[in-house]
């Protein structure tokens, strides 16, 4: 028994050692510097949000920040991009915003007597789509191609958006005045949906003291380069899924499609996002393999916003998050899993 435990400890140690270093890049050192840079500006009730945001960026996904106004969504987006040394653009979504205001437009240059393309704010690394649900569905849909393909097509010509590209969309609750529900197709293209929540007493006191006299965002310096993010993306692709853990993930997803109260469950695209998010989270936590805990933690932020509920579920006041938690609780967790090597290997 003791030898078996020692064997599993060796598995964990080897996995950590392989993940922490890649071509001179240390995941642990990067994560420490990045967290400290954000922590100096943004006060978060749950810092695992930063891991999830990093996971989305590494995987080429996009994030929907769903919360009430004034909890720091915009500040978090600005600090996140500045700490990673990425270009940043912001769009304030309003009912009169046009699709061309997002993607760009061809205009006639009087000097050259030719049509030229004026890029929209979407041509950036991090795009803050502030209060996205205040724009009309037509304008919201202008982001679909950008989010899925990282390209923009205007007047028949397609242009590429450089890596990394992350849409950080903030959304106010639907019960607030002047908001439009996001189309289902666009909701499914968001890698994760995160909630910041209100800060606790001590956190709110820290916020007040920190911003009384100056703006700490001005002191944020980049702690990474685009090359570092490319390395992280490469390392994430090498994170392993054992067969039992992969089956566990698929069981969770497939259960969402047959639950009472759910009209549409998680799509295959959502399944792929779920797998990629688990790989990235495992890497950021020093492992080269996914464990069930990764999937359990990511289930709500990655899967819940993809569910389309029946009226019966709404009448019972069941939320999407509650339904996903029920699904995770109903699926048997695999035990005695070997994560890529035998326990008795030296």
Would residue 173 count as lying in a domain? yes
Q: Are residues 42 and 91 in the same domain?
A: yes
Closest to 44 measured CA to CA, from 202, 215, 167:
202
Name every residue whose Cβ is closer than 8 Å to that of residue 67 and which is 6 or more positions away in sequence.
73, 170, 171, 172, 173, 195, 196, 197
Would residue 279 count as lying in a domain? yes
Q: What is the pLDDT of residue 317?
A: 58
Q: What is the pLDDT of residue 344?
A: 36
Structure tokens at 335: 């035990």
Q: Tell me which long-range contacts 119-124 makes (C-beta under 8 A, separation of at least 24).
A: 119/159, 120/152, 121/89, 121/90, 121/91, 122/89, 122/146, 122/152, 122/161, 123/89, 123/152, 123/159, 123/161, 124/86, 124/87, 124/88, 124/89, 124/161, 124/165
Question: pTM for the whole thing?
Answer: 0.85
Q: Are residues 200 and 272 in the same domain?
A: no
Rounded to the nearest angstrom, the gap between the alpha carbon of residue 222 and the centroid of all alpha carbons in its chain is 20
Instruction: Report the sign of the C-alpha dihedral through residues 183, 147, 31, 27, in that order.
Output: positive
Q: Are residues 129 and 156 in the same domain?
A: yes
Q: Which residue has the tokens 């100056």?
A: 214
Would residue 5 count as lying in a domain? no
Three-point CA angle 252, 341, 29, nearest 5°: 80
Q: Are residues 217 and 247 in the same domain?
A: no
Q: Are residues 79 and 124 in the same domain?
A: yes
Looking up residue 317, the CATH number of its domain turns out to be 1.10.8.80
Would residue 10 count as lying in a domain? no
Contact 78, 88 (CB under 8 A): yes
Would residue 15 count as lying in a domain? no
Contact 239, 282 (CB under 8 A): yes
Q: Are residues 162 and 136 in the same domain?
A: yes
Q: What is the pLDDT along the chain (346 residues), one digit of tens a residue?
A: 444 444 444 444 444 444 445 556 789 999 999 999 998 899 888 889 999 999 999 999 999 998 888 888 888 999 999 999 999 999 999 999 999 999 999 988 888 888 888 999 999 999 999 989 888 888 888 888 898 889 999 888 899 998 999 999 988 776 666 778 887 878 889 999 998 888 889 999 999 998 888 888 888 899 999 999 999 999 999 999 999 999 999 999 999 998 887 888 999 999 999 999 999 999 999 999 999 999 999 999 999 999 988 876 665 557 889 999 999 999 999 987 776 543 333 3
Q: Are residues 114 and 156 in the same domain?
A: yes
What is the span of the domain harbouring residue 280? 238-333
Q: Are residues 121 and 204 in the same domain?
A: yes
Domains of the chain: total: 2
State how far the Cα of 126 lies from the Cα of 65, in Å rounded to an integer: 14
Q: What is the pLDDT of residue 5?
A: 42
Would residue 317 count as lying in a domain? yes
Q: Are residues 182 and 248 in the same domain?
A: no
State how far the Cα of 91 lies from the Cα of 104, in Å rounded to an integer: 12
Would residue 295 count as lying in a domain? yes
Closest to 122 measured CA to CA, from 85, 87, 81, 171:
87
Q: Which residue has the tokens 């009912």?
A: 95
* Angle in degrees, 0-180, between the axes of helices 292-303 and 268-284, rounded to the nearest 10: 130
Q: Which of residues 181, 198, 225 is at a domain's end?
A: 225
Q: Are residues 147 and 85 in the same domain?
A: yes
């Amino acid at each position: 028994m003791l030898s078996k435990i020692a064997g599993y400890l060796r598995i964990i140690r080897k996995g950590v050692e392989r993940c922490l270093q890649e071509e001179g890049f240390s995941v642990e050192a990067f994560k420490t510097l990045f967290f400290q840079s954000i922590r100096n500006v943004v006060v978060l009730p749950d810092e695992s949000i930063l891991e999830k945001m990093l996971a989305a960026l590494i995987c080429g996904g996009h994030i929907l920040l769903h919360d009430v106004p004034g909890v720091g969504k915009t500040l978090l987006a600005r600090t996140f991009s500045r700490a990673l040394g990425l270009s940043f653009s912001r769009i304030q979504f309003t009912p009169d915003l046009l699709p061309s205001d997002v993607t760009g437009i061809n205009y006639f240059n009087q000097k050259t007597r030719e049509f030229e393309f004026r890029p929209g704010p979407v041509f950036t690394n991090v795009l803050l789509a502030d209060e996205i649900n205040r724009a009309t569905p037509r304008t919201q849909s202008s982001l679909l191609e950008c989010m899925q393909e990282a390209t923009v097509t205007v007047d028949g010509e397609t242009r590429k958006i450089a890596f990394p590209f992350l849409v950080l969309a903030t959304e106010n609750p639907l019960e607030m005045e002047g908001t439009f529900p996001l189309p289902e197709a666009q909701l499914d293209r968001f890698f994760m949906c995160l909630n910041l929540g209100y800060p606790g007493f001590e956190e709110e006191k820290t916020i007040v003291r920190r911003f009384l006299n100056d703006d700490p965002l001005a002191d944020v310096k980049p702690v990474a380069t685009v090359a570092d993010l490319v390395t992280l993306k490469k390392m994430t692709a090498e994170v392993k899924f054992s067969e039992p853990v992969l089956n566990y993930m698929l069981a969770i997803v497939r259960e969402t499609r047959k639950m009472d109260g759910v009209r549409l469950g998680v799509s295959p695209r959502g399944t792929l996002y779920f797998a990629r998010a688990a790989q990235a989270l495992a890497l950021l936590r020093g492992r080269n393999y996914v464990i069930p805990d990764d999937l359990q933690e990511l289930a709500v932020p990655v899967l819940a916003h993809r569910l389309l509920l029946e009226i019966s579920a709404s009448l019972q006041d069941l939320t999407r998050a509650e339904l996903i938690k029920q699904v995770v609780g109903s699926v048997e967790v695999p035990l005695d899993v070997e994560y890529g090597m035998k326990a008795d290997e030296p």
